[in-house]
């Protein structure tokens, strides 16, 4: 019997034809589980394409939403798929119809190599709190615009029924904290949290677009790794693949990214990261700022 592995990838961005074509050549992984940490694509059709392809290749698929799935792109005839929380509900419905686990499902127990582990898929969004202290909250988009940065979320990611994306974020954070707080103690069972956006500001490393930072998360999740005793946190969104350690928790950024951000002769299979691999501690110990960049 082959050993079951827990694999992860995010930011497949299947709206791009190149990524879509590349996914077609993914082999079958038998008993392995796959985490898709958001930005699968910009449309419900992209999501359906992914599940049609991935469901037969993995024993189980787990998904959390990214900002791209939440976009309402009129050019992709998305108007009938709802806005904001309604759209999120549609996405969850579609995943559940395929048997894909979402943040709205019971937290599954992974049993296999490196496990057992409780997997915690979450959806938290961002609230513009990842910004330098001297930039006021109401100045943050102007500050980003000084460098020509304006996230497309501003036009395409509706917060409905909330007035703002911050309010939606805060509601999601509160709801998720309430759920994580009631997790039972399971001795010997690891905890793996999955979210599209990074949990901590100090993990946002985007040298090419540093002022995109406000759209990358919320400081309200800064201590979740210690507070909820997480062993591994799997995220995407940054399109900068990395492994970091904070306070004994391993943070994995598992993005594929846009066509120009991966490849160089490698197939998508190369980017599936094993979450529960035996990871040696970095030279500076497991608390430090050491990080590993993945090519």
What six digits make up the tokens of 223? 């201590």
Half-sphere exposure (Cβ direction) of 210: Cα atoms closer than 13 Å: 7
Q: Are 10 and 37 in contact (CB under 8 A)?
A: yes
* Closest distance of CB 256 from Fe ion, Å: 9
Binding flag, residue 69, Fe ion (CB under 5 A): no
Query: If 0-12 CB within 10 Å is exposed, 13-18 middle and 19+ buried, where does residue 147 land?
Result: exposed
* Closest distance of CB 217 from Fe ion, Å: 11
| 7 φ/ψ sector (left φ>0, alpha ψ -120 to 50, else beta) | beta
Binding flag, residue 39, Fe ion (CB under 5 A): yes
* Closest distance of CB 288 from Fe ion, Å: 27
- Collapsing DSSP states into helix, strand and coil, what is residue 87? helix
Q: Considering only 70-78, 127-135, 233-241, 286-294, which stretch makes contact with Fe ion by CB under 5 A?
A: 233-241
Q: Considering only 37-45, 102-110, 218-226, 272-280, which stretch makes contact with Fe ion by CB under 5 A?
A: 37-45
Question: Out of 41, 65, 66, 115, which residue is the one contacting Fe ion (CB under 5 A)?
Answer: 66
Per DSSP, what are the bridge partners of residue 291? 244
Binding flag, residue 15, Fe ion (CB under 5 A): no
Question: Out of 11, 222, 231, 244, which residue is the one contacting Fe ion (CB under 5 A)?
Answer: 11
Binding flag, residue 165, Fe ion (CB under 5 A): no
Binding flag, residue 222, Fe ion (CB under 5 A): no
Q: What spatial distance separates the first Cα and last Cα of the chain, rounded to whole Å?
A: 31
Binding flag, residue 67, Fe ion (CB under 5 A): yes
Question: Cα Rg for the chain, rounded, in angstroms?
Answer: 18
Residues that bind Fe ion (CB under 5 A): 11, 39, 66-67, 237
């Amino acid at each position: 019997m082959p050993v079951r592995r827990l694999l992860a990838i995010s930011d497949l961005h299947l709206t791009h034809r190149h990524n879509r074509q590349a996914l077609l050549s993914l082999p079958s992984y038998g008993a392995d589980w796959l985490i898709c940490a958001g930005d699968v694509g910009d449309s419900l059709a992209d999501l359906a394409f992914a599940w049609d392809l991935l469901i037969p290749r993995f024993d189980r698929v787990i998904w959390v939403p990214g900002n791209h799935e939440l976009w309402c792109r009129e050019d992709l005839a998305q108007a009938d798929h709802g806005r904001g929380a309604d759209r999120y509900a549609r996405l969850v419905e579609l995943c559940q119809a395929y048997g894909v686990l979402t943040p709205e499902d019971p937290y599954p127990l992974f049993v296999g190599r490196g496990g057992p582990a409780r997997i915690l898929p979450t959806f938290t969004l961002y609230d513009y709190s990842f910004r330098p202290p001297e930039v006021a909250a109401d100045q943050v988009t102007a500050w980003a615009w000084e460098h020509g940065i304006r996230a497309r979320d501003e036009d395409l990611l509706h917060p409905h029924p909330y007035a703002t994306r911050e309010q939606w974020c805060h509601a999601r954070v509160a709801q998720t904290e309430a759920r994580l707080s009631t997790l039972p103690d399971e001795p010997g069972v690891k905890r793996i949290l999955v979210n599209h956006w990074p949990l901590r500001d100090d993990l946002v490393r985007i040298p090419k677009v540093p002022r995109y930072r406000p759209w990358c998360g919320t400081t309200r999740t800064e201590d979740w790794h210690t507070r909820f005793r997480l062993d591994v946190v799997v995220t995407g969104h940054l399109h900068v693949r990395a492994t970091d350690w904070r306070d004994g928790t391993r943070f994995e950024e598992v993005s594929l990214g846009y066509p120009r951000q991966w490849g160089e002769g490698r197939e998508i299979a190369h980017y599936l990261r094993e979450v529960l691999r035996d990871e040696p501690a970095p030279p500076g110990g497991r608390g430090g700022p050491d990080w590993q960049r993945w090519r």
